Chains A and B, each alone.
Chain A
């Protein structure tokens, strides 16, 4: 399970990053305009109305550490705010989105099944554009200013799409690589050196099968890195534009790269792991000697759970790695919007952020800016950053922004076309 909930969450949410936009627009533009009359700027009133509400939080449930954390949050919201928070544990977050779409399709505009959903990427932008989300509300939360969004613009950007107050951040993620320092002395730190290293060490690396989120993330990382090497390619097209007829040309180096490394992967690429968790098991069992995760604290929390050896170390590629922020959103047919906002605000409080960050099994990466923690909390966080297996803050500062969300879908489609049908 993952440390991190983010990594694993994304793996189960890959379907969220798919374009449903046109259909959404066609189907729901008629039913979409009935926002309820919640005054988001009157926070005292929201808190008062939230009391006694029942909030269904649809979030991936495959991480026992996250589940335990959320049941702690639920106990606190009950005792402090009188809100009954129910974590609807999804095996695959896309089912919540499917459900939301089906509800609107059936004309259900008031009594939806979800009050709060952990959303990201393409699905967010699709749902937002189709007016299936309630808002704007996120920046009216008292705790929102603690994230210091003016200094950290990624708090208002979900895969390059402006959140416009329709989503509230609650955790962040970054791609990191990890290895067992007893088996591997000098791990590869660029895409090119990965290829060279793999030739000498066949079978010691693999990646989750796209469209599993982590697998697609590696594709994006490699794509950006390989594109940056090509002097002729314009890297900005990756970030600002949906893929167009230039897709084949831009992505050609990536496929050539994959064709080259596949014979050297574990099981000669005839079978890929399904998730980052299986990747971690493979590393722990020495099937492979290099793995990766989409959570900076993956290794620390896995060591504490006994799922990785204490000699495991993590790092970030030389030119940086992909990073993004995780958000929660409120469907516009949510019956308990006030309760959902109160919960989102509580998730942003220094207390909850600190608790999630210092929970050894969870080790979530806070979204609050560092100075908004108390000096005592800051000291603990700094201490944790020096734990064995942690990535140093300076390394983590090497962040690469996500490509435009529509690239995800195209990369997955092309990968499946090339490799998904078997040999």
Chain B
């Protein structure tokens, strides 16, 4: 292990550890001075010797806590499952042909839209007073909106759907990036000579090779889905809410009793997220076994049965992902409508009056949040790129292994955000670090770093080392090799890493709000604060504003390499 790798371990590991400990510690406090209504002595007398801290009793006796935990667990399992199935079916059905390229290009901007904005878009479409219901009302002649519960339903279907809409494009892009190394066309060709249809062939031969390459990103999806706050607030159930939502409610409460409850809940959250991972691993094994059995059986002899299987899977695979993308794009269109709508009562499909008041109100107060957001994003992304390059370069020179580091880098994504960020905030307050833009940028760094590092790492791995060898034989020093050969050849990955990092930083809510103590407003914190206003127009405007910058970054990530390499072949 190189010194740079060790440094990075420490730099990321120490705050993670300290943050998590500080966030979880209050759960183990034995005193419970909540004052007026509860006698703290009762707790210890009811529970002999106080072996289990009272916060855990309080947590267990909270009404509906089991339901909350179960909802989080299910969301954590169903979201990645739905995303994975739709992406694999899509890739199998399209065989990474032209259609998949088109969809991938459509998926990229969806990836850039912040989760909260996408959730609002979905709610605006599917609520009883949403656009879909208005369309039906116009056709069927309804005067009043139907009284049905879909968004916020206790069964969490809307929550899982909303999360999967955002996660499927992510899984798709990760899968597409890994696909070349699986030699998919040859596998499919081989399977087809054995009598399988193309979709079945892909699922049986490419999927098992591709899956291990996208496992870690999927794990991040599992943890994110089981601990998301903003999406769960918008689309999730309210009676009771998901565990993560309740955790944040308790964490911001002023009483220590509630803070202790929040800490106990954070521990439960950690347990739920890890359980989701564990169950996922279990299913991995079961499915692997089923796969082996199916594959060993060989292709069915009768042609009709083959085609029947194909005939179901192919259209489903073709349709699922594109439909979800269309859903998001329709939602964005609905947000646009809402942002320029004045009076827009049910059941009219379009607003009856138009107005720019939401935009003018937003534009009068967006300079400082915009400046902060960009400054934080640039600071955290620059730090992440520099550190990644230093580490990767040191590793390349010493030929040290990198596998453990890349797994480790996923840790900030595998520990629920609420857990360790709140601990960092306590740490900052104890060490008297005032809330500042810099502190927020440091918080963002932890979430930006994994993506930046992994993108650059793949760039390092992909670069043909013979270029560097050639440069050395021509007398170039290591420094010259780095600046004149590696950096220019890797500029596509550098741009991708930077834009990915910027996108992530720009849409982070919790770290900004908690570490900035409200003094470092960004576009995202302003958007979420105004979302509580509940006005469709304001929500639409800010959701679009919040989406604009990340989308711009994504477009740059796609366009810049094309511009830079416009006179070169084979660089993209």
Chain A residues with a Cβ under 8 A of chain B: 1-2, 8, 11-12, 15-16, 18-23, 26-27, 56, 58, 61-64, 67-68, 71, 88-92, 94-99, 101-103, 105-106, 108, 111, 113, 123, 126, 203, 209, 242, 266-267, 270-272, 274-278, 280-282, 284-287, 305-307, 309, 406, 410, 416-417, 419-423
Shortest CB-to-CB span from A293 to chain B, Å, is 12
Q: A68, A282, A421: which has the most chain B beta carbons within 10 Å?
A: A421
Contact with A along B339-372 (1 / 0, CB 8 A): 0001101100000010101100110110000000
- Which parts of B309-328 form the interface with A (CB within 8 Å)? none
Can you show 22 pairs from A to B with CB atoms below 8 A apart?
A1-B530, A15-B254, A23-B34, A64-B530, A68-B364, A89-B521, A91-B525, A95-B252, A95-B513, A95-B517, A95-B518, A96-B518, A102-B426, A105-B429, A267-B147, A281-B536, A285-B145, A410-B37, A416-B63, A421-B65, A422-B64, A422-B154
Q: Decide if B257 is an interface residue (CB 8 Å cutoff).
A: yes
Chain A residues near B62 (CB, 8 Å)? 421
Contact B530 A62 (CB under 8 A): yes
Q: Decide if B185 is an interface residue (CB 8 Å cutoff).
A: no
Contact A113 B517 (CB under 8 A): yes
| Cα distance A11–B250 in the bound complex, in angstroms | 16
Besides A1-B530, A23-B257, A277-B533, 8 more A-B contacts (Cβ < 8 Å) are A64-B530, A94-B253, A97-B254, A102-B426, A271-B153, A285-B345, A306-B343, A306-B353
8 closest Cβ contacts across the A-B interface?
A277-B534, A421-B64, A22-B35, A421-B63, A1-B533, A285-B346, A91-B529, A285-B129
Count residues of B near A (Cβ-Cβ below 8 Å).
Answer: 69
B145 in complex: contacting residue of A18, A94, A274, A286, CB < 8 Å? A286
Known A-B contacts A23-B35, A56-B519; the reply to A18 vs B346 at CB < 8 A is no
Contact B239 A209 (CB under 8 A): yes
Shortest CB-to-CB span from A414 to chain B, Å, is 11
Shortest CB-to-CB span from B365 to chain A, Å, is 6
A275 in complex: contacting residue of B237, B346, B434, B532, CB < 8 Å? B532
Chain B residues near A96 (CB, 8 Å)? 518
Contact with A along B445-469 (1 / 0, CB 8 A): 0000000000000000000000000
Shortest CB-to-CB span from B538 to chain A, Å, is 6
| Cα distance A1–B362 in the bound complex, in angstroms | 13
Q: Decide if B238 is an interface residue (CB 8 Å cutoff).
A: yes
Q: Decide if B526 is an interface residue (CB 8 Å cutoff).
A: yes
Chain B binding site: helix, strand, loop or mixed by DSSP?
loop
| Cα distance A92–B129 in the bound complex, in angstroms | 27
Q: B257, B365, B528, B534: which has the most chain A beta carbons within 10 Å?
A: B534
Chain A residues near B144 (CB, 8 Å)? 286-287
Contact B529 A89 (CB under 8 A): yes
Q: Decide if B432 is an interface residue (CB 8 Å cutoff).
A: yes
Contact B534 A280 (CB under 8 A): yes
Residue of B nearest to A307 (CB): B535
Chain A residues near B239 (CB, 8 Å)? 209, 270-272, 419-423
Q: Decide if B240 is an interface residue (CB 8 Å cutoff).
A: yes
Contact A21 B36 (CB under 8 A): yes
Residue of A nearest to B253 (CB): A15
| Cα distance A11–B517 in the bound complex, in angstroms | 20
Contact A287 B254 (CB under 8 A): no
Q: Decide if B572 is an interface residue (CB 8 Å cutoff).
A: no
Chain A residues near B432 (CB, 8 Å)? 106, 108
| Cα distance A419–B67 in the bound complex, in angstroms | 13
| Cα distance A274–B534 in the bound complex, in angstroms | 9
Contact B35 A277 (CB under 8 A): no
Residue of B nearest to A422 (CB): B239
Shortest CB-to-CB span from B476 to chain A, Å, is 53
| Cα distance A217–B353 in the bound complex, in angstroms | 34
B33 in complex: contacting residue of A23, A95, A282, A307, CB < 8 Å? A23
Chain A residues near B148 (CB, 8 Å)? 267
Shortest CB-to-CB span from B128 to chain A, Å, is 7
Q: Decide if B435 is an interface residue (CB 8 Å cutoff).
A: yes
A99 in complex: contacting residue of B143, B145, B517, CB < 8 Å? B517
B430 in complex: contacting residue of A1, A98, A106, CB < 8 Å? A106
